[in-house]
Amino acid sequence: VADGWTVRGIDALTDYYDPAVKQRNLATLLAGANFQFVRADLRETPLAPLLDDTDVVFHLAAQPGVRTSWADGFATYDDHNIRVTQRVLEAVRNRPGTRLVFASSSSVYGNPLRVPTDEGDQTRPFSPYGVTKLAGEHLCRAYADNFGVSVAVLRYFTVYGPRQRPDMAIHRLIECARRGTPFALFGDGSQIRDFTFVDDVVAANLAAATAEFPSGTPINVAGGSSTRLVDLVAAVGESVG
């Protein structure tokens, strides 16, 4: 919006976390003249009218979270991450010349055999969430190969920054440090993550909107670091303290 694009944002404002937080995040955008917000559920709303006059579709919608993707929770991930992606691809398929930028995840690698991870490394998801994101990638490539859909696949690595989801580790860490409450660490803390600042993710999305590359090519969007979670806990505690 700040760069002068006319933007139509679509969101169901699900209750995965407090929708009021999402409404606050929208406030600045809603005050602008070249932003339109449509509250709609992509699982069922007609998509063709929403794509009228669009040059680029940034498909960022998904059900996030790893732990809740198991057991009965999988149905929600199947709906939001696989079926919705297929519906979006069908809609873009009928709009020749429209670029689709698909938000995938480093979760498609699972527990990588090496760090840093290269796009050519094995994809072996370690959670149902990762499986659904990889399925979305396969759908993107299928539509690229069969129908010539122009699609960029971006694999985000643990995004952090302003307006971050409240269930994410860095958000929870800072809140615990500020309040002096214990932080629930899953595992032994030796897990390695590459944390990526949100501004870099935005820059990658904007670049992917116009760059030339083979359709369906996966691209890692990462910060270039390898941080153990236990070291992150210590660093956040020290900086906030």
| Residues that are catalytic | 129
Nearest of 227, 232, 238, 229 to residue 187 by alpha carbon: 229
Q: Which residues of 74-103 are buried (b: 16+ CB within 10 A; e: fewer)?
A: bebbbbbbbebbebbbebbeebeebbbbbb
What pairing do the DSSP bridges indicate for beta strands 192-193 and 227-228? antiparallel
**E strand or H helix at 101, and its extent?**
strand 99-105
Q: For the purposes of burial, counting CB atoms within 10 Å of the CB of 126, is it exposed (0-12), middle (13-18) or buried (19 or more)?
A: middle
What are the angstrom distances between the C-alpha of 142 and each of 88, 93, 106?
Answer: 13, 11, 20
Q: How far is 107 from 137, CA to CA, in rounded Å?
A: 12
Provide φ and ψ at 121, rounded to 5°. Answer: -70, 160
